[in-house]
Structure 1
Amino acid sequence: MNKSNARMGWLFASPYLVYSLIFFLFPLLWATYLAFTNWNLISPDYEFVGVQNFVQAFFSESVRAAFFVTYKFLAMFVPIAVIGALCLALIISALPRFKGLFSVAFFLPYLASGVASAIVVNGILSYNSPFNIWLRSTFGLDINWLGSPVLAALIIALMMAWKFMGYYALLFVAGLESIPKDVYEAARMDGAVGWKKFWYVTIPMLYPSFYTVTILAVGLMFGIFTEPYVLTGGGPDLATHTWQLEIYQQAFERLHAGYGTSIAVINSIVTFASILVFRKILEVWGAKHGWE
């Protein structure tokens, strides 16, 4: 019976395993090989160059910019997205009716095309847009929104937070709905009401949701491409130049596929290490509140 159950389990898992094998494992092995070559994406020949691509990437100004820009986006996006999603979840949970309707409404931006959203934002912030004309005529403000290194990065972070907050809010709503009512009753008997109840009961009990949302948000920052590509092209002065932009430019615009692949490998390592650090921090916080 156990062998039969095991075979049945492998049978049902086989579509995902085959999918992972074809679209993840094989490309990973192929990319690892390409990272040590000087392939130009067109030639049938692959020149083996050893670790030269990695050395070149280590001293590259644009790669260093991508490294620091990612953490800049992370520092802006993660707090905004997590706190904003939590606030949305609290609002939805407090609604007496139509919770599902409002949940779907907040989730809709997540389904919107990143290209379409970026084009709309670009139109709103363009020099001759009604918004900028109103700012100039009313307040005398002439702001180059996407020409400022600080503002351009902040706009992209806010745009992505708007897109993903609804999705993250659903995870928080699920966490709020799973908190047992008797926990709140016991806390109220101990004098934990209002802000104390939220800080000392709700927040610790939402640890699984915080864990999931934070890891998803951190991982997302290492794969940003659409928004900076459409809005700024990585500028100004590499202020919004991300890993994915660097990989795309090297591999598909300059046809340095081997070098671009080596950058992708470095990006994977940095992503894995960063997520591991955040995981450890979250696990330490969870352990202090009884989550083992």
Structure 2
Amino acid sequence: MKENNNRLGWLFASPYLIYSAVFFLIPLVWSFYLSFTNWDLISPTYDYVGFDNFIKALKSAGVHAAFWNSYKFMMIFIPLVVAMSLAVALLVHSLPKFKSFFLVGFFLPYVSSGVVTSLIVKGLLSFNSPLNTFLRKIGINIDWLGTSWSALLIVGLIMAWKFTGYYALILTSGLQNIEQEVYEAAAIDGVTGSQRFWKITLPLLYPSLYTTLILAFGVTFGIFTEVYQLTGGGPNYATNTWQMEIFSQAFKNLQAGYASAVALIAALATFISIYIIRKLLEKWGARNGWE
């Protein structure tokens, strides 16, 4: 019976395993192989070049920009999205009814098209838009997508707006798992509103916060659509991301071998960064009794 159950389990898991092998494992192995070649995405033949692609990538200004921009986006996106999703979760959790209705409303930006959102924002920030026309009348002239700091900020704001509802769902679930008796006991001990949040709600929300933060940090290494539509990685690599760099090298410069090397470097940088972040979060959780 145990053997039959194992076979049944493998049978049910087989669609996902086949999907993963075809669309993830095989492309990963193929990408690793291509990273040591000079394939141009068109030619039927290609030559082995050893580690030349990796050496070139490590010296590339575009790769350097993609590496540092990931952390710049992180500094903008993470505080914004965590604060906004926490605020939404606390607000929805405090509602007496229709919680699901409001959560779905906040969740809609996450399922909306990133291309459409980016095009709308691009129109709003164009030179002749009503916003910029008004600002110029009062003496403010900002090239929102042509200035390094503002372009970074705009992309970070769009990403925070997009993911707030999704992370609020996770945090709302965590809030619902906190027993009301804990707050009642704290009230008897004279715990105030702000102390209640920092000393009770936030520590007990750790599992949901942990998940939210890991997902949010991962997002900063995979930004593409918004940057592609709004800035194309500019100005002067100011918003260039790993995905943008890989796309540009593979499909614009037709250097698929080099792009594969950049993709592997990006994967390594992402893995190491997320590992360090995860360890720091686990230490914070351990200080609050989560082992």
TM-score by length of 2: 0.98
| Separation in 2, partners of 1:290, 1:17 | 36
| Separation in 2, partners of 1:274, 1:186 | 39
The corresponding residue for 1:87 is 87
| Separation in 2, partners of 1:77, 1:265 | 24
1:197 aligns with 2:196: yes
Deviates more, 1:165-174 or 1:9-18: 9-18
Matches within 5 A, 1:130-209: 130-137=130-137, 139-209=138-208
In structure 2, the residue corresponding to 1:28 is in which secondary structure?
Answer: helix
Offset at 1:18? 1.1
The corresponding residue for 2:120 is 120
- Letter of the aligned partner of 1:21 in structure 2? A
| Separation in 2, partners of 1:22, 1:262 | 21
The corresponding residue for 1:37 is 37
- Letter of the aligned partner of 1:197 in structure 2? R
TM-score by length of 1: 0.97
The corresponding residue for 2:268 is 269
The corresponding residue for 1:129 is 129
Offset at 1:188? 2.0
| Separation in 2, partners of 1:237, 1:49 | 29
In structure 2, the residue corresponding to 1:32 is in which secondary structure?
Answer: helix
Offset at 1:178? 0.9
Offset at 1:99? 0.9
The corresponding residue for 1:234 is 233
- Letter of the aligned partner of 1:9 in structure 2? G
Identity of aligned residues (%): 55
CA deviation string 1:225-279 (max 9, x = no partner): 1111111111111100111111111111111000000000000000111110110
1:102 aligns with 2:94: no
Unaligned runs of 5+ in 1: none
Offset at 1:43? 1.0
CA RMSD of aligned residues (A): 1.0
Unaligned runs of 5+ in 2: none
Offset at 1:181? 1.6
1:258 aligns with 2:262: no
CA deviation string 1:116-173 (max 9, x = no partner): 0010001001110011111222x22111111110001000000110011011100000
Paired residues, what number?
291
| Separation in 2, partners of 1:237, 1:105 | 37
The corresponding residue for 1:245 is 244
